[in-house]
Amino acid sequence: MITLTVNGEVHQFDGDPSMPLLWYLRDLLDLTGTKFGCGIAQCGACTVHVSGAPARACQMLMAALEDSKVTTIEGLHPQGSHPVQLAWREIDVPQYGFCQSGQIMQAAHLVAGKSSVTDEEIDAAMSGHLCRCGTYPRIRKAIHRAVELS
């Protein structure tokens, strides 16, 4: 039995310990905001926070999650009003949107507790996140705005 906390709620999992966290979230908890992109941890669409740090849910196995705290896009803020979420809407970042929950989760980790970020810090933090639509300039602008809103 694996015990973990997802978005503040304790869960117990007694299934296959080699199941990726992504499928546990989507298929068993019905938290579908976390997306499947590439399945090999290269695109960032499945990014969640595990014990406070960004992690790729497609490659994170349930066996490694005993006593972990997982935060998904649904748990980032109860009303969707995290500074990054507010900035994303204000700047109108999404075009297609499939990658956005992973982008937002990575950005939320980046801006946490910061009073400023540089373009270089943003580029480094976000470099593993692919956006088919090429909204990178809006993503960068929204991250700067999120810091202002924090």
Q: Are strands 69-71 and 2-6 parallel, antiparallel or unpaired?
A: parallel
More confident residue, 125 or 95: 125
Backbone φ and ψ of 11, nearest 5°: -130, 150
The DSSP H or E segment spanning 147 is: helix 136-149
Across the beta sheet with 69-71, what order do the strands follow?
A: 9-13, 2-6, 69-71, 47-50, 53-56
What mean pLDDT is predicted for residues 15-33?
A: 98
pLDDT, one tens digit per residue, over 131-142 is 888 899 999 999
pLDDT at 18: 98
pLDDT band at 145 (very low <50, low <70, confident <90, very high): very high
pTM of structure: 0.95
| CA neighbor of 19 nearest in space, from 27, 7, 30, 9 | 27
pLDDT, one tens digit per residue, over 56-84 is 999 999 999 999 999 999 999 989 999 99
Mean pLDDT (the chain, rounded): 96
pLDDT at 126: 97
pLDDT, one tens digit per residue, over 103-122 is 999 999 999 999 999 999 99
pLDDT, one tens digit per residue, over 4-15 is 999 999 999 999
pLDDT, one tens digit per residue, over 39-58 is 999 999 999 999 999 999 99
pLDDT band at 37 (very low <50, low <70, confident <90, very high): very high
Domains and CATH numbers, the chain: 2-75 (3.10.20.30), 83-149 (1.10.150.120)
Q: Give me the percent of the chain exceeding a pLDDT of 90.
A: 91
44 within 8 A of 106, measured Cβ to Cβ: yes
Secondary structure (DSSP) of 53-121: EEEETTT-BGGG-TT-EEE-GGGS-TTS-SHHHHHHHHHT--SS-TTHHHHHHHHHHHHTT-S---HHH
pLDDT at 82: 98
